[in-house]
Structure 1
Amino acid sequence: MEKVLHLISGGDVGGAKTHVLTLVKELQKNLAVKIICFIEGPFAQEAREMGIDIMVLPQHRRYDLKVVDTLVNIIKTEGFTLIHSHGARANFITRFIRKKISIPCVTTIHSDFMLDFKGNLYKHIIYTNLNIFALKKFDYFIAVSKSFKDMLVSRGFPDNRIFIVYNGMDFQEDISYKSRDEFLNERGLAHLRDKRLIGILARLHPVKGHEIFIRAAADVLTDNKDIHFLITGDAGEMPSLDSQIKQLGIDKNIHFIGFIDNPYDFLNAIDINVLTSYSESFPYVLLEGARLEKPTIASAVGGIPMLIDDGVNGYLFEAGDYKELSGKLKIMIDDEEKSKALGRALYKKASENFSLKNLAMDHIKIYNEMLKNKKVRNTDENNR
């Protein structure tokens, strides 16, 4: 039986965490699969609660390579036949494992690796280049949208070794979340329970385009004084956003609400789900919003247009164009029934086309192809 080892830092949050945990849980139904991560924390704990075989190998620092020999020993002892890596830290470690083993290695490109550390010059210079150094040595790549495959090819990665797999989720699984009133109460926003709420659930990072969300909010508020906008995270994480809000004079209508453990708590509380990213793969927050039939507006980047058909099951806008965003927000605000219909249509498309079962089966096909190619290469080498 084939055995697949997934490597990931373990400090992951958001889409990458959701992707790896739900994928591995589903893969376990058909394969022997294990996760090894390098940080003890919520990721590892959640994996244990889901019944996933996970092991933590702590590192003293981000690029501590003492774990390499331990990993190689585990791979050989437990008989893993393939390594699947996720993220810069795991990619870097896999780069050195490859020198000591001969099994295929694949990495999933969850984001544009040239933008991952944007906003921190030191990390951008060091970590981005180390990730590129590691990526060049992988056998295969999984891109989570066609645009990401095109991006990889444009940067010199071989077209014939890149697979495309769109994210998926289990639309049949029971989900739990707090009521709108309970969520707003605990965040000190009980006074907003009867207001229209527009929200963005994304890490506070320049690539997510929060400044566009804020400028669009200011535009909406010129005609709709009673709308409120919720941003996950704390204002101190990106002080420039707080300054922008104050300069626009809209601080009474925009609320930073802190870290969110359960995305559905937040998504259930808002009326319109917005994503303003300059770069995206195929974001889980849109699938999670679709799960709750949330009316959605997102920038037309990455794989997002594969899910959202503009004006049919949501709205798209050109990344960076706050005027287009505010215009489409106003349409949704003015016609609540149409907005709800868009949310229902989004659920229908998402549930029919982007299921967790499809995600897992696509990965199994890729694994089988990788292993078949390895056998062919080994046979050719033995016949020389």
Structure 2
Amino acid sequence: MTNKKILEVCLSPDLGGLELYMSRCTNELSKSFDVLCVVASKSKLKDFIQDVQKFEINRKSSFSISASLKLAKIIDKQNIDIVHLHWTKDLPIVVLAKIFSKRKPKIVQTRHMTMTRFKSDFYHKFLYKNIDTIICVTKALEEQIKKFIPQNIRPKTLTLYLGANESEALSAEQKDEFKKELKVEDSFMLGLIGRINEFKGQHLLIEAMKLLKQKDLNIKAYIVGHAMSEEYLQQLKQRVIDFNLEEQVIFVGFTKEPAKFMQACDVVLMTSRNETFGLVTIEAMRNGSCVIGSNSGGVLEIIDDEKTGLLFESGNYEDLALKIEKLYKDETLRKELAKAGQKKAEELFDNKKQFDKLSKFFSQL
């Protein structure tokens, strides 16, 4: 056990891949370091962090001085060496806390979101000069950072893929039992797992399902995740009614057992327009599920088209329907893609291997 003290910070009120990754960092890094964490007062993360001292901060905005002062006090009182943050909107609070603190800890950001514009103004110079390292979840993201942050203020960068755990394989009987609970019957089962918002593209699946139903294909689609926007969820449900798809498209809500769900699916989908990474996709691959993803963003570093999964044209539900139909009609291809995808995920996206690399990085910082 090293003496280095790490403070994991995520003040996001949501519960998606980014937030759950922070909880995994907290739990995994605490095996090698003295780790504490800070979450928002209204955070849904608390239940996912075990046996680690937690602090809560009421975050009113990205520029909350009171939140920065409270964080600075935690840094000094707990003798924090490294602050590791995940949500880009927390950057101003963390940087100000470093300035207010006596300790002046190193700041490491794991960046999950794409960068699309130059960061050369005074405000961004101030932020990035106070950050030690940006860990990028894809090579494409590291290239963006090198492009958009001027070299004289750019923190050190490195690419470290997110990882997924190997899950306990369900027996054929357990799968059948689970499918019975979900009323899948003998249908081809699709899963779309992730927070429900427009960016994630659940509407594309519903449009694709309309086309697939017109072809009389026996397919059911399960949309799993909690709604970020109640309005968007209602629009999706209305579209399902309008297309007469109530039997074919089922909203499951949030699940604490995504691995079980993935293993039950014939195909797991990733329909986001431009996902920075695609944690659900690698989790599905590790679980031995065949995957279809949009041909943009970090997914291009995960899925090799026709080799470890299929890619469809981003935003094009007609192409998505064609790719689903292809796997529906070709079981051999589906099984080959699932097997090759699982092998790639074991080699490149293994949770333990990736956290070993992260631990090594922190121990050398």
Bucket of the pairwise TM-score, normalised by the shorter protein: 0.7 to 0.9
Q: How does 1:86-101 map to 2 (within 5 A)?
A: 86-101=86-101
The answer for the alignment partner of 2:329 in structure 1 is: 334
Q: How does 1:33-48 map to 2 (within 5 A)?
A: 33-39=35-41, 42-48=44-50
TM-superposed deviation, 1:360: 2.0
Q: How does 1:201-280 map to 2 (within 5 A)?
A: 201-232=193-224, 233=226, 236-238=230-232, 239-280=234-275
TM-score (ref. length: structure 1): 0.79
SS of residue matched to 2:259? helix
SS of residue matched to 2:283? helix
Q: 1:176 to 1:227 in 2, by over 3 A?
A: closer
Q: What are the Cα deviations for residues 315-363 of structure 1, in whole angstroms up to 9, with x where unaligned? A: 1122112232222211110012321222122111101221223322332
Structure 1 Cα separation of the partners of residues 26 and 253 of structure 2: 29
TM-superposed deviation, 1:183: 4.7
Q: 1:62 to 1:184 in 2, by over 3 A?
A: farther
The answer for the alignment partner of 2:105 in structure 1 is: 103
Amino acid at match of 2:204: I
Moved more, 131-140 or 228-237: 131-140
Count of matched residue pairs: 349
Structure 2 Cα separation of the partners of residues 96 and 345 of structure 1: 46
How high is the sequence identity, in percent, across the aligned residues?
A: 24
SS of residue matched to 1:98? helix
> Any conservation in 2 of the 1:38–1:58 contact (CA below 8 Å)?
yes
The answer for the alignment partner of 1:55 in structure 2 is: 54
TM-superposed deviation, 1:40: 5.5
Structure 2 Cα separation of the partners of residues 291 and 237 of structure 1: 33
Q: How does 1:59-98 map to 2 (within 5 A)?
A: 59=58, 61-62=60-61, 64-98=64-98
The answer for the alignment partner of 1:142 in structure 2 is: 135
Matched, 1:301 2:293: no
Q: 1:175 to 1:197 in 2, by over 3 A?
A: closer
Amino acid at match of 1:77: K
The answer for the alignment partner of 2:23 in structure 1 is: 21
Q: What are the Cα deviations for residues 98-131 of structure 1, in whole angstroms up to 9, with x where unaligned? A: 22242221211112377xxxxxxxxxxxxxxxx9
Q: 1:197 to 1:280 in 2, by over 3 A?
A: same
CA root-mean-square deviation: 3.2
TM-superposed deviation, 1:46: 2.0
The answer for the alignment partner of 2:161 in structure 1 is: 166
TM-superposed deviation, 1:244: 3.5
Structure 1 Cα separation of the partners of residues 43 and 94 of structure 2: 21
The answer for the alignment partner of 1:283 in structure 2 is: 278
Matched, 1:320 2:315: yes
TM-score (ref. length: structure 2): 0.83
Structure 1 Cα separation of the partners of residues 77 and 290 of structure 2: 50
Structure 2 Cα separation of the partners of residues 259 and 169 of structure 1: 19
SS of residue matched to 2:196? coil
Q: 1:315 to 1:66 in 2, by over 3 A?
A: same
What 5-or-longer segments of structure 1 have no aligned partner?
A: 115-130, 372-384
Q: 1:325 to 1:263 in 2, by over 3 A?
A: same
TM-superposed deviation, 1:95: 2.6
SS of residue matched to 1:279? coil
Structure 2 Cα separation of the partners of residues 11 and 256 of structure 1: 22
What 5-or-longer segments of structure 2 have no aligned partner?
A: 117-122
Q: 1:196 aligns with which of 182, 188, 192?
A: 188
Amino acid at match of 2:46: A
Q: What are the Cα deviations for residues 191-215 of structure 1, in whole angstroms up to 9, with x where unaligned? A: x232111121121112112222222
Q: 1:291 to 1:344 in 2, by over 3 A?
A: same
Structure 2 Cα separation of the partners of residues 202 and 39 of structure 1: 23
Q: 1:134 to 1:289 in 2, by over 3 A?
A: farther
Amino acid at match of 2:55: V
Amino acid at match of 2:295: A
Structure 2 Cα separation of the partners of residues 356 and 223 of structure 1: 40
Q: 1:252 to 1:113 in 2, by over 3 A?
A: farther
Structure 1 Cα separation of the partners of residues 150 and 271 of structure 2: 28
Amino acid at match of 2:284: G
Structure 2 Cα separation of the partners of residues 33 and 175 of structure 1: 31
Moved more, 330-339 or 134-143: 134-143
Structure 2 Cα separation of the partners of residues 288 and 316 of structure 1: 17
Amino acid at match of 1:156: I
Q: 1:133 to 1:14 in 2, by over 3 A?
A: farther
Structure 1 Cα separation of the partners of residues 194 and 76 of structure 2: 39
Q: 1:174 to 1:185 in 2, by over 3 A?
A: closer
Structure 2 Cα separation of the partners of residues 318 and 18 of structure 1: 28
SS of residue matched to 1:281? coil
